[in-house]
Chain A
Amino acid sequence: MARVAFPLSVFQDSDGNPVSFGRVLVNISTDVQTPTPEHIAASFVVGIDLDVNGAVIGSPLVWPNAELTPSDAVYVYSVYSQVGQAIVREASLTV
């Protein structure tokens, strides 16, 4: 029962250009309980900054979905460019 690395590490636009200094917004689709036990708030959106190469800065960790209750929750993420243009909008992610 441990958190794991956020599985998406580098972001590009549809032309293959890195999303330099962009931002990834992440939340969970529904309120869930963690094994610890604690609570992840579904509407508590968190941002992950990207570097010049579109790579995630830092080492964000997330709970595997199977360890959350209810277990049918998924992560939802959107990717924005440095100027705020939506590159990816509300994509689902299961870890």
Chain B
Amino acid sequence: MATKNQITGGGFQDALGNPLALGYLQFELSQDSQVNGTTQIAAGYIVKINLDSSGNISTSPAQSVWPNDVISPVGTFYLVSAFSANGQLVWGPNAQQVLSTPSPFDIGVWVPASVNTGLGGSSSTFPSTIGNLPSFVNTTGGLQDSGVEAADVVLRSSNNQFGNTIQTFGLSGSGEVQVSNIGITIIDPSLTNVAAIDTATGTGLFSKLATSQTPAASTTASDHSVPIVLNGTTYYMRLSTTP
């Protein structure tokens, strides 16, 4: 049975090393979750973690939270903020994860802006199919309705759902990553390649758009045949006066 893990350390300080003495952290789980198959964890219940006079997490009493790697669904994270003793927000909010090992878990190892929010955990469908996403997913605290340009996006598929095991989108210039509350769409600058990902299921769709076509009509007997070249392949559309 999974248990909560004690969190320690942190060493929160200012630029000159003065500790965030007697400040506190707030932990907000990214979404409602479940642990051990029966216990519900309410995301809206913000947890307050006290810091000691050295800016470290107080150990008396021990402060413990549910590790993200033992709760469902996979890929959750905590939005963590640090406040001074008088309530001023000084750090974060940053997306971070607490793991079940080591125990206790030293939060000093956290690297700000390093957790991919909205992509799920390492064992879920998403990270196995998508990687190297631009930093916007690290820092905004979730998906948002805005277009974001990125330099490069690499999609990896374990079940051929993008039609390729690896598909790279070089997006510098007019390429775009569009994120909405239902999915992610990636369009390359030539408007040739498009990938769409359903964020709820992880289902991906990769396709090439028809960008070059050569319509030219010809006639065969009583029918008209219109060849159309799409991405190098010729298709024929027949027009006939015969029902």
Contact = CB atoms under 8 A, between A and B. Distances in A.
B9 interface: yes
B13 A44 contact: yes
Interface of B: 9-18, 20, 55, 82, 84, 88-92, 94, 106, 108-113
Contacts of A26: 14-16
A57 B12 CA distance: 24
A1 to B, nearest CB: 14
Interface string A63-84: 0000001100001000000000
Interface string A34-50: 10111111111110100
A40 B16 CA distance: 9
A33 B80 CA distance: 14
Contacts of B17: 3, 61-62
A31 B92 CA distance: 7
A7 interface: no
Classify the interface of chain B: helix, strand, loop or mixed.
loop
Contacts of B90: 41-44
A39 B11 contact: yes
B12 A39 contact: yes
A46 B18 contact: yes
B205 to A, nearest CB: 34
Nearest to B92: A31
Contacts of A34: 11
Interface residues of A, number: 28
A44 B91 contact: yes
Interface of A: 3, 6, 26-28, 30-34, 36-46, 48, 60-62, 69-70, 75
A46 B84 CA distance: 12
Contact of A38 (B13, B15, B89, B92): B13
A91 to B, nearest CB: 14
B15 A33 contact: no
A70 B16 contact: no
Contacts of B109: 33, 37
Contacts of A45: 14
Contacts of A60: 16
7 contacts: A6-B16, A26-B14, A34-B11, A37-B11, A40-B14, A41-B12, A44-B91
Nearest to B18: A46
Question: Which 9 A-B residue pairings sit nearest by Cβ, starting from the closest?
Answer: A38-B11, A41-B91, A44-B90, A46-B14, A41-B90, A31-B112, A37-B108, A44-B14, A43-B90
B10 A38 contact: yes
B16 A48 contact: yes
Contacts of A40: 12-15
